[in-house]
């Protein structure tokens, strides 16, 4: 691996990533995330991860990719669009996050990452590395920011000036030195639409989200009963929540994805509230056969539907 070839390696990886359907690809030098360490520590100390105990695990690995891949030199960050062409008419529907409409992204993107890693090895030689899609202690948004594919918005999500925020973030951590991209400017400015729109006030202040107050946390991560104090505040969301993304001005640039695997089951957009409330195991398995919604299991989804369907008592 000669120094003069860094440019060629980098160009090849970016070109191949685009061929595989990734919308953006950026590079950063692997190393300890100094700025993020105290922030993560404070966030955990304040209990903003709620019952997501895994967020407190592998603290050192979460901050240092060289502890995940021995000899790691580079973190390659990739963005994959999931913005759907159509969303159901909201009038008589319960809502699920757009990312869960089609096949579980873990499977779709992992396949593409492994294809990219294989292509790198075929073209360059023996390169050691691992692929990550939201399933390991990797601070993906921090790496995305360092890689220049976007900035962290006030809702704590990654924003991209060209296409907004409806992206999955994935990484390759490899022992190959590359040419690195620098971070981009923060374009949130004085806008507070995401903060103002959050019905559970999960965005405590700009750039700080209390995960334990987020609708996505309540409907996906929380295994116990949803606190009664939040009744009437879910705006019909029964799996995840897109409110802070839907109101973000940068998402006016979102374009429909080109991934057939992300197309929803044909019955999904036809389901009215009554269909959701009467959902059976058979329908659940059919409509969400390969979807991330399976994570809640039917019982969890039914809990969410019952909670959202029960309107807040008039006496409160």
DSSP summary character for residue 160: B
The H-or-E segment that residue 128 falls in is none
Question: Catalytic: which of 92, 134, 196, 267?
Answer: 134
134 is catalytic: yes
Residue 101 near residue 262, CB atoms below 8 Å: yes
Residue 190 tokens, joined: 């004085």
Q: What are the φ/ψ torsions at residue 246 (nearest 5 degrees)?
A: -60, -35
The three-state (H, E, C) secondary structure of the chain, written as one string: CCHHHHHHHHHHHHHHHHHCCCCEEEEEECCCCCCHHHHHHHHHHCCCCCCCHHHHCCHHHHHCHHHCCCCCCEEEEEEEECCCCCCCCCCCCCEECHHHCCCCHHHHHHHHHHHHHHHHHHHHCCCCEEEECCCCCCCHHHHHHHCCCCEECCCCCEEECCCECCEEEEEEEECCCCCCCCCCCCCCCCCCHHHHHCCCCCEEECCEECHHHCHHHHHHHCCCCCCHHHCCCCCCEEECCCHHHHCCHHHHHCCCCCCHHHCCCCCHHHCCHHHHHCCCHHHHHHHCCCCHHHHHHHHHHHHHHHHHHCCCCCCC
Q: Which of 299, 242, 288, 240 shows the shortest CA–CA distance to 266? A: 288
- Known catalytic residues? 134
């Amino acid at each position: 691996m000669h120094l003069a070839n860094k440019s060629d390696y980098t160009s090849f990886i970016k070109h191949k990533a685009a061929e595989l359907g990734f919308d953006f690809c950026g590079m950063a030098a692997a190393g300890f995330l100094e700025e993020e360490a105290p922030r993560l520590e404070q966030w955990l100390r304040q209990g903003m991860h709620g019952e997501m105990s895994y967020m407190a695990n592998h603290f050192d690995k979460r901050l240092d990719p060289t502890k995940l891949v021995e000899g790691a030199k580079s973190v390659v960050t990739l963005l994959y669009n999931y913005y759907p062409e159509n969303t159901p008419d909201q009038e008589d529907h319960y809502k699920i996050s757009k990312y869960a409409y089609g096949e579980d992204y873990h499977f779709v993107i992992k396949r593409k990452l492994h294809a990219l890693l294989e292509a790198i090895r075929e073209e360059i030689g023996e390169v050691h590395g691992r692929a990550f899609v939201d399933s390991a202690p990797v601070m993906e948004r921090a790496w995305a920011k360092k890689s220049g594919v976007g900035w962290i918005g006030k809702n704590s999500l990654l924003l991209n000036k060209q296409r907004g925020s409806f992206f999955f973030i994935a990484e390759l951590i490899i022992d190959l030195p590359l040419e690195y991209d620098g971070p981009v400017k923060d374009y949130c400015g004085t806008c507070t639409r995401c903060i103002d729109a959050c019905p559970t006030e999960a965005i405590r202040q700009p750039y700080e989200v209390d995960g334990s107050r987020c609708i996505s946390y309540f409907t996906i991560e929380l295994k116990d009963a949803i606190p009664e104090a939040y009744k009437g505040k879910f705006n019909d969301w029964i799996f995840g929540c897109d409110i802070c993304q839907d109101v973000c001005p940068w998402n006016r640039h979102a374009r429909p994805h080109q991934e057939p695997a992300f197309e929803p089951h044909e019955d999904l957009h036809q389901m009215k509230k009554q269909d959701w409330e009467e959902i059976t195991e058979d329908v659940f398995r059919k409509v969400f056969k390969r979807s991330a919604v399976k994570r809640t299991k039917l019982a969890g989804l039914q809990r969410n539907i019952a909670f959202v369907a029960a309107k807040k008592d008039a006496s409160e």
